[in-house]
Chain A
Amino acid sequence: MTKRYDVVVIGAGPAGLAAACKACEKGARRVLVAERDREAGGILNQCIHNGFGLHYFKEELTGPEYAGRFVDLLGKTGVELKLDTMVVDITKDKTVHAINTTDGYMELKAGAIVLAMGCRERTRGAIAIPGDRPAGIFTAGAAQRYVNMEGWMVGKRVVVLGSGDIGLIMARRMTLEGAKVLACVELMPYSNGLTRNIVQCLQDYDIPLYLSHTITNIIGKERVAQVVVSKVDENRRPIPGSEILFDCDTVLLSVGLIPENELTRSAEIAIDPRTNGAIVFENMETSAPGIFGCGNVVHVHDLVDFVTGESQRAGAAAARHALGQQDTGGVLEVEAGSCVTYTVPQRVRRDHVEKSMELFFRVNNVYHNMEIKVMDGDSQLCRFKREHMAPGEMERIAVPRVLLDKVRGDRITVTVVPQEGA
């Protein structure tokens, strides 16, 4: 079965939903969203906690509430939503191969594609934790789905590895459902999650946080029985003799998210090894013309509000592309300077920046009293002060078009330096 669409959006999570709605608003007529789950909403459906929407809606919403707003919005557009549908392949010429139980195997031709597949969780095997391989080891997100969507308890005595937001949220969730969370164990000397979550998920429930520690052994025949937690040195190597034994039946792993880019790779789209997502332009276009990316599949976000903005940009650009107006023009590279791990976008066509360019980046450590400087060689384009920066808190700045126009070189550099006199 072959069908043509103006825009095909892959994924109906917050990224896909925002992109599709905006594409429709900007004039794309035949828009399809393909979603592999039975419902739209993506990961937000299982994020029953609040903290979403403070920027975008100026309200504090739970995940399902935030997703619900966009699901409702989508319902009012003419966008076609195919649920329970897996996209198995895409090609550079914008053919989408998808499959479901009613249509069978579909070959869809798209004027533009928006990649919004989100991310997956890093597993035990990926970090090579020694020990047995009993049941009771879950990634935090997988456990969250069991607990929140279907009401299953995954364990009674829990050790959480990783103090990123998902681990912290699940520490609280398991406690509220009657489990005993014995510890949250974090490899780094600082937590990767939002500080508010340390307070309302660990401190509120007296769950100890072990910084600079990691799990060095999992013991258990058929089900987890114990874990060994060791302190680590400045090179993150376990210190012999520092072992603590925990009697537990469950390990929740919150050890990293990886953008889900199998489809992106099969379309031979250039991937940034620092983000594990596609290299994108200011309009979220990838290295393949007419294929755009947004949300966690491009880089893992902390706030869904930023995902929405970014995805609307992608959707609008996808619509423009499908309608024949392609964004081309001279390219500025965006470089990550001192203290910066990566930036999104990685490339800018300034002719297509309207008033300002939204730029995201992350720092590589915890810093205080710093200055973000956007540089054109040695000359400074703009700067922003920050009291507190951390790797777990993605930064967002807006670089005005008028300043981009002043750039004489072929690149701009985003750099973070100590404040003068600080």
Chain B
Amino acid sequence: MTNVICIVCPKGCHLQVDENNDYAVTGFGCARGIDYGKKELQNPTRVITSTVRLEGGIHRRCPVKTAADIPKGMIPDAMGLLNTVQLKSPVKVGDVVVPDICGTGVPWVATRNM
């Protein structure tokens, strides 16, 4: 039995996940918590956010995010992909900045019009 805090929404329900019982989840506040509990113990993923270099915009950096969650273990590599990116203004929310993070099919996308 493992205690897991759900991070899907700010409520932060305290889940209990039983690895020995097909990862049954208790303590959830909504259905998303069940999925989260199961996933967190078997294949934890995260959405991560960062910035990339920007030329010609109001600031020198443009905020970006992974369009969907990616395996936690890939976070360092995913971050590394941003080091060589140089965007040029104008940039729109949702613009693809790096098309495919390490074969996941998930892109880095811009989160601000700049």
Contact = CB atoms under 8 A, between A and B. Distances in A.
Q: Are any A and B Cβ atoms less than 8 Å apart in their complex? A: yes
Nearest to B110: A64
B7 A64 contact: no
Interface string A362-375: 00000000000000
Nearest to B72: A204
Nearest to B7: A196
B41 interface: no
A339 to B, nearest CB: 19
A38 B58 contact: yes
B66 to A, nearest CB: 10
A142 interface: no
- Of residues B5, B12, B49, B65, which shows the largest number of chain A Cβ atoms within 10 Å of its Cβ? B49
Contact of B5 (A51, A199, A303): A199
A311 to B, nearest CB: 19
Given A199-B5, A199-B7, A150 B111 contact: no
B113 interface: yes
Contact of A151 (B46, B58, B60): B60
A60 interface: yes
Given A50-B49, A68-B112, A194 B12 contact: yes
B10 A194 contact: yes
A68 B93 contact: yes
Contacts of A64: 63, 93, 111-112
Nearest to A51: B10
Interface in B69-107: 72, 75, 79, 93
Interface string B9-33: 1101010000000000000000000
Contacts of A62: 49, 63, 65, 111
Contact of B7 (A45, A151, A200, A303): A200
A151 B86 CA distance: 13
Contact of B12 (A49, A65, A150, A196): A196
Q: Is the interface of A mostly helix, strand, loop or mixed?
A: mixed
A150 B10 contact: no
A48 B14 CA distance: 26
Most buried by A among B50, B75, B112: B112
Contacts of B51: 48, 147-148, 151
B54 to A, nearest CB: 9
Interface residues of B, number: 29
A195 interface: yes
A333 interface: no
A206 interface: no
A151 B63 contact: no
Given A50-B49, A65-B111, A204-B72, A148 B10 contact: no
Interface in A26-61: 38-39, 45, 48-51, 54, 60-61
A398 interface: no
A195 B5 contact: yes
A302 interface: yes
B10 A303 contact: yes
A152 to B, nearest CB: 9
Contacts of A49: 49
B8 to A, nearest CB: 8
Contacts of A147: 51
B111 A48 contact: yes
A176 B50 contact: yes
A397 interface: no
B113 to A, nearest CB: 6
A239 interface: no
A63 B63 CA distance: 10
Nearest to B12: A195
B6 interface: yes
A150 B59 contact: yes
Nearest to A54: B9
Nearest to B112: A64
Contacts of A198: 5
Given A62-B63, A68-B111, 19 more contacts: A48-B50, A48-B111, A49-B49, A50-B47, A50-B49, A62-B65, A64-B93, A64-B112, A65-B112, A147-B51, A151-B53, A194-B10, A194-B12, A196-B7, A196-B12, A204-B46, A302-B10, A303-B10, A388-B12
Interface of B: 5-10, 12, 14, 46-51, 53, 58-61, 63-65, 72, 75, 79, 93, 111-113
8 contacts: A48-B49, A50-B65, A54-B10, A64-B63, A196-B6, A196-B7, A196-B9, A198-B5
Closest A-B pairs by Cβ, 10 of them: A195-B12, A64-B112, A48-B63, A196-B7, A151-B61, A62-B111, A149-B59, A196-B12, A65-B111, A151-B60
